Amino acid sequence: QVQLVESGGGLVQPGGSLRLSCAASGIIIRINAMGWYRQAPGKERELVAAITSGESTNYADSVKGRFTISRDNAKKMVYLQMNSLKPEDTAVYYCNVDTPYGGYWGKGTLVTVSS
């Protein structure tokens, strides 16, 4: 069983920054891709950013140039640095990892961008 715990969410003013972290624990032989998704009220969950085991990255157009995803394989962690935050970035952010035995989700962390 794999557990994912996100942290780092909160309330921030427009233009501000936050850094999300996600820690994976449990019996993990290998983690393939790791990613961050978000779900705003009344909207479907969407991919924000993903990073492969080879550290290739992929971003949603709406966050390119503002968000940066990174991972620490030794610590089994993935991070999302979010800069120049906008009100439309308000959402619950979920961590996702892909392993040889399936994908796993965290419970999410709320990010609210408001003045």
Residue 42: half-sphere exposure toward Cβ, Cα within 13 Å: 1
Report residue 10 as tokens.
């909160």
**Which residues in the chain come in under a pLDDT of 50?**
none
3-state secondary structure of 89: helix
What Cα–Cα distance (Å) separates residue 16 from each residue in 27, 56, 66, 86, 87? 36, 26, 11, 8, 10
pLDDT at 26: 87
Kindly state the helix (H) or strand (E) to which residue 34 belongs, with its residue range: strand 34-39
pLDDT at 1: 80
pLDDT at 28: 80
pLDDT at 7: 97
Contact 90, 35 (CB under 8 A): no
pLDDT at 38: 98
pLDDT at 60: 98
